[in-house]
Amino acid sequence: MKQKELCVAVVGTGYAGQLHSDAFRKVGGISIRLKTVVDIDFPKAQAFRDAYGYEVALQDYDEMLQDPEIQVVDICTPPFVHTEMVLKAFRAGKHVICEKPLTGYFGQAGDTAPVGKTVPRRQMYE
pTM more than 0.85 = no
SS3 20: helix
Q: What is the pLDDT of residue 115?
A: 81
| Tens-place pLDDT, residues 54-83 | 999 999 999 999 999 999 999 999 988 998
Question: Rounded to whole angstroms, how far apart are CA atoms 5 and 46?
Answer: 24
Assess whether pLDDT exceeds 90 at residue 37: yes
Residue 12 phi/psi, 5-degree rounding, is 110, 130
Quote the mean pLDDT of the chain: 91
Q: What percent of the chain has pLDDT over 70?
A: 94
> For residues 86 and 98, is the Cβ–Cβ distance under 8 A?
yes
Alpha helices of the chain — where are they, by DSSP H? Answer: 15-26, 42-52, 61-65, 82-91, 115-118, 121-125
Element containing residue 84 per DSSP (H, E): helix 82-91
